[in-house]
Structure 1
Amino acid sequence: MEQPNSLRKKTIRGMLWSFGDLMGNQGMQFLIQIVLARMLLPEHFGLIGMILVFVAVSNSIIDSGFTQALVREPNADQTDYSTVFYFNLAVSICIYVLLYFTAPAISGFYSQPELISIIRVLALGIIINALAIVPRAMYTKDVDFKVQMQANLSASLISGAVAIGMAFAGFGVWSLVSRTLAMNGTQTLFLIFKKKWLPSLEFSGKSFKRLFGFGWKLLLSGIIDTIFNNIYYLIIGKQYSAMQLGYYTNASRFSDIATQTLTSSIARVSYPVLSSIQEEQTRLKQSYKQLMKIAGYVIFPILAGLAAIGEPLVRLLFGEQWVPMTLYFQLLCIAGMLYPIHALNLSILQVKGRSDLFLYLEILKTAIFSALIVTAIVMNAGILGLIAVVILNSYLCLFINTYFSAREIAYPVFEQLRDLAPLYVLALSMSLVVYTAEKFLPFHDLGKLAVLIILGVLFYITGSKILRLQELPIVYNLLLPLLKKFTLVK
């Protein structure tokens, strides 16, 4: 059994490396996105957005829940890894063939003839990604995110250089396609050569049955979740112009930088760590409770703050041509505030082996989300109405997720909401103060942002001390080792 101090150190080390990985990678991607947004047109991003749902669903199918199954499996061996590798590779090839031949139909659906060649080239990334699933699962299982950070940063630099070079040469949308393929290829090669793992010439039906028995429910729930996370690309691409989809695509990716970075860094560390103490009910609840409160304390103010400074931030970074995306970005940030809490609640279901309940919840939430989307379309609510549905759905899902996870670890919904309420109210209060101040500051965008960020940080820290929130010293102690490490490196 792993000792508490050892587990704490492992969790902190993994979280710091995971956060560093995602922040470094997303930060690099963000800088590249800014450069490309200034060189390309919104329509170019819209064309890529039209096929994101197909690529995202394909990647979910390839994974098949095997990553979570391997991470959770205490005694995974070479046979298990080889079995998963060959299955993923075979499925990825089948999906590529399917997309290759259905490309004309997808192109016809959007009335965009150039999508045929874009789909056939971009879909090659599906096969490339399949090759890296097992090495990535190995590193995740060991709570080792240092190598993944190196792989992602290298991929960001190389793919960014390729994309910017092609955009400068006038390749338009193909610079975005090349960026994705270069990213996939670099990550896969780095992980494979660094891990020095090769599959054996064996495929075990027994291993497949055992791993897939746990993973297939996560596969279905993952497909459902992926479809509805990307469904707006399909709806907006069909009903509106490529330009409007381009605004939504960039707003979504911009908000995802903060949302997905913070959510993923916490969720992908919490799953293997909580899995290691899954049989210790009291310890599991306390560890989960602390993780959830830390997640809320960090992520709530970041997303609320970004929403408050949205207009000057978008104008400064992307330029005047992208200002119409500001409101989309602000609303998506508000919706994204609860994503890490959703992820942690769902992690508990995986830790407890309740993949059946995981699937049930996805079906239930999908039915609710579908009804809300249909209502917005029937009412002709437009893109803003569709985004409002995302916000409403996020809050409804909070109650659903917390209700079912509470039964697994004896952490009632009311208790979870009570723990989160002070953090949430403080973050929204800070956001309101910053948003109001932005309307009265006479500075240009850069000076205005500097003042607003300082104001927001001071307000939040002061509020934390007044409310005596325990998360403030905890977060400080979590960041201190990272600051010391960087100081020593320098």
Structure 2
Amino acid sequence: MSNPSDGQGQVIVRGISWSFLSRMTTQLFQVFIAVITARLLSPEEFGLVGMILIFSGFAQVLADMGISASLVHRQNLTNSDISTGFWLQIMVGGAISLLFWSLAPAIARFYALPELEPLTKIISLTFMFLALGQTQAALGQREYRFDQIGIASVIATIASGIGCVSMAYFGWGVYSLAWQPVISAATFTVAIWVISPWRPSFAFEKSALGFMFRYGGYLSGHTILNYWLRNGDNLVIGKALGAVDLGLYGRAYTLMYLPLNMIGLIVGQVMFPVLSRLQDDIDSFRETYTYALRAIAFILFPLMGAVFVLSEQIIVLMFGEAWVGAAPVLRILSLVGLMQSIVFPVGWIFTALGKTKEQFQLSIFLAVVFVVAMAIGVNYGILGVATAYAAWAAISAVANLKIAMGYIELSLRKTLLLLLPSLAESGIVILLSEMLRQYLLSKLPTLELTMIVLSFGLAAYVVLCLLTRNKILFDLLKYRRAAATKG
């Protein structure tokens, strides 16, 4: 496969650079906040808020309804279309906030924990704040103004993190965690309004509504199902196993998802509008997509390998000995992360080519498999749930790749062959790093062991990629030399 065209490549690199900078800043700050709050609050308190966040995340999916994606996807977009999307999001966001507030007693009864009701009412404020800024964020993505989105995200992360830690320090307990997403949503909206030049007009076009519902309807259906496929394990644990187990599992899942969130969402934020422009040129679409997929595998495969090898050390260093029960869960979930690193880019194909109906139909099948997996896994505790989730992730990976690759005229076999170099190189490094960890386990303190194993793994991976002449690494070196020469 050839590289994307120079023009598209520059757009992608520039967009990823801004997104990476903002995402790296927000993720590092979030990790810092998580480390502090894990020492100020208990696993049970994290579990209590985690029970609510399962439902609030679902409500957030409902509040968007695929409107933002439809604004990015549509080729000919007028200001009336944009304003229509804005007012529609306001109405839906307000309705979801009111509904979530009213359902607070029901959520508390579902878990048989009365203390969840006031926490749920606090978190319900999030959706109205988010709705006010979603249109500006979608326009920023459509027009490749990732600097605006990034600045707003960094401001929101810092403000909500400082607020959460301050409240926890002064004894607000679990309420500090409940207020964090509210502060984040409100701050992001204020920042994006200050930064973005677009302002709504009093327009509401029926034709725009029709397109948004046609495109966003199936996309919303898929997103809703996909949400529960990613969070149903938390619901099962919270209901069947309790707040402590959910707190441990939630910390492990958050750490596993950190590389995916940091790398995957960065690239996806850029690739969706780029691929949407190429929807009528399948050859260019395929070349651009496969190159991005290989780049993601080159970065995420070894990162997930590091999480697998050092799961216990990472948990202890970040959260303390009280959280060590999350370590075996994290090791299993790192395998989920490896599989999801090649599955989430598949969504770009479905959405950029307008195949949201087919994506929704696939989600229905995967939802049935997920329910069966969770029903079996919950009988064996949180490790059983994690193992069942990993088995489901493997099935999901094969099904998604098989169907989506057909739309860009690429077989499943050829797709896997494109990923084979990074998989083989990462596998060798994981094996060598695990052998080194076992050898040093009783000889060094946790921090020193972690630093030595990480340094060895990075060096070994780079050497292997140089020896095998990994194309992605050599392209990165070429881009770096070109940038240095131009500078």
TM bucket, shorter chain: over 0.9
- The equivalent of 2:435 in structure 1 is 436
Give the whole-Å Cα distance in 2 for the aligned partners of 1:483 and 1:16: 15
Letter in structure 2 aligned against 1:414: R
| 1:196, distance to aligned residue in structure 2 (A) | 3.1
Aligned 1:262-273 pairs, distance under 5 A? 262-273=263-274
Contact conserved, 2:241 with 2:381, CA < 8 A, in 1?
no
User: How far did 1:381 drift?
Assistant: 2.0
Equivalent residue, structure 2, for 1:409:
408
**TM-score, normalised via structure 1 length:** 0.95
The aligned residue for residue 284 of structure 2 is 283
- The residue type equivalent to 1:107 in the other structure is A
> Any residues of structure 2 matched to 1:73-222 within 5 Å, and which?
73-222=74-223
Q: Distance in 2 between matches of 1:397 and 1:482?
A: 39
| Change in CA separation of 1:166 and 1:71 when aligned onto 2, cut-off 3 Å | same
Q: Deviations over 1:252-298 (max 9, x none)?
A: 11222112111111212111111112212212111111111111011
- Please state how far the C-alpha of 1:163 moved relative to its aligned partner: 1.0
Shift in Å at residue 10 of structure 1? 0.6
Please list, as runs of the form range in 1=range in 2, the aligned pairs for 1:302-313 lying within 5 A after superposition.
302-313=303-314
In the TM superposition, what are the counterparts of 1:308-327 in structure 2 within 5 Å?
308-327=309-328
- Contact kept, 8 Å, 2:59 with 2:100, in 1: the verdict is no
2:236 and 2:374 in contact (8 A); partners too: no
8 Å CA contact 1:248, 1:328 repeated in 2: yes
Deviation at 1:474, TM superposition (A): 2.1
Q: Distance in 1 between matches of 2:236 and 2:404?
A: 32
TM-score after normalising by structure 2? 0.95
Tell me the amino acid that sits aligned with residue 44 of structure 1. Answer: E
In 2, Cα distance between equivalents of 1:145 and 1:120:
33
* Matched positions, count: 482
Matches within 5 A, 1:206-245: 206-245=207-246
1:297 aligns with 298
Residue 385 (structure 2) pairs with residue 381 (structure 1)? no
- Residue 176 of structure 1 deviates from its aligned partner by 0.8
Q: Structure 1: which 5+ residue stretches go unaligned?
A: none
- Distance, in Å, in 2 between the alignment partners of 1:210 and 1:259 is 31
Partner of 1:17: 18
Task: Write out per-residue CA displacement over residues 418-454 of structure 1, whole angstroms, 9 at most, x where no aligned residue.
Answer: 1112211221221222122112222212211111111
* Equivalent residue, structure 2, for 1:51: 52
Greater CA drift, 342-351 or 209-218: 342-351
Is 219-228 or 470-479 further displaced after alignment? Answer: 470-479
> 2:316, 2:138 → 1: CA distance?
39
Q: Deviations over 1:210-250 (max 9, x none)?
A: 12211110011101111221112211111112111111111
SS at match of 1:410: coil
Task: Say if 1:397 and 1:76 are closer, same or farther in 2 by CA, change over 3 A.
Answer: same
Structure 2 Cα separation of the partners of residues 397 and 344 of structure 1: 13
Separation of aligned partners in 2, 1:202 and 1:479: 47
| Shift, 1:373, TM fit | 1.5
CA-to-partner distance for each residue in 1:159-208, whole Å, 9 max, x for gaps? 11111111111111111112211111111110111113222112111111
Q: Which amino acid aligns with 2:227?
A: T
Distance 1:295 1:482, change over 3 A: farther
> Letter of the aligned partner of 1:439 in structure 2?
Q
Shift of residue 338 of structure 1? 2.3
AA aligned opposite 1:64:
M
What do residues 352-402 of structure 1 show as CA deviations (whole Å, max 9, x unaligned)? 11111111111121122122222324xx12211111122111111111111
Distance 1:384 1:299 in 2: 23
Return the offset for 1:460.
Answer: 0.8
Q: Distance in 2 between matches of 1:234 and 1:126?
A: 21
Are 1:16 and 1:482, in contact at CA under 8 Å, matched by a contact in 2? no
- Percent of residue pairs identical: 25
Which whole-Å deviations, capped at 9, do the CAs of 1:12-32 have from their partners, x for residues lacking one?
111121122212111111110
Question: Does the aligned pair in 1 maintain the 2:69–2:216 contact within 8 Å?
Answer: yes
The 8 Å contact of residues 55 and 123 in structure 1, kept in 2 or not, is answered as yes
Asked if 1 retains the 8 angstrom alpha-carbon contact of 2:233 and 2:389, the reply is no
Pairing 1:254–2:287 present: no
- Conserved in 1, the CA contact under 8 Å of 2:16 and 2:267? yes
Question: What is the match of residue 452 of structure 1?
Answer: 453
Report the secondary structure of 1:76's partner residue: coil
Q: Distance in 1 between matches of 2:160 and 2:174?
A: 14
Could you say what the CA RMSD is over the residues aligned between the two structures, in angstroms?
1.8
2:393: which partner in 1? 394
Distance, in Å, in 2 between the alignment partners of 1:209 and 1:111 is 42
The CA distance in 1 between the partners of 2:237 and 2:248, in whole Å, is 11
SS at match of 1:131: helix
Distance 2:480 2:275 in 1: 21
Structure 2 CA distance for aligned equivalents of residues 305 and 81 of structure 1: 43
Query: Quick one: distance in 1 between partners of 2:373 and 2:163?
Result: 41
> CA, structure 1 residues 219+396, in 2 after alignment: closer, same or farther (shift >3 Å)?
same
Task: After superposing the two structures, state which structure 1 stretch, 216-225 or 343-352, moved more.
Answer: 343-352
Q: Distance in 1 between matches of 2:42 and 2:338?
A: 29
Deviates most, 385-394 or 128-137: 385-394
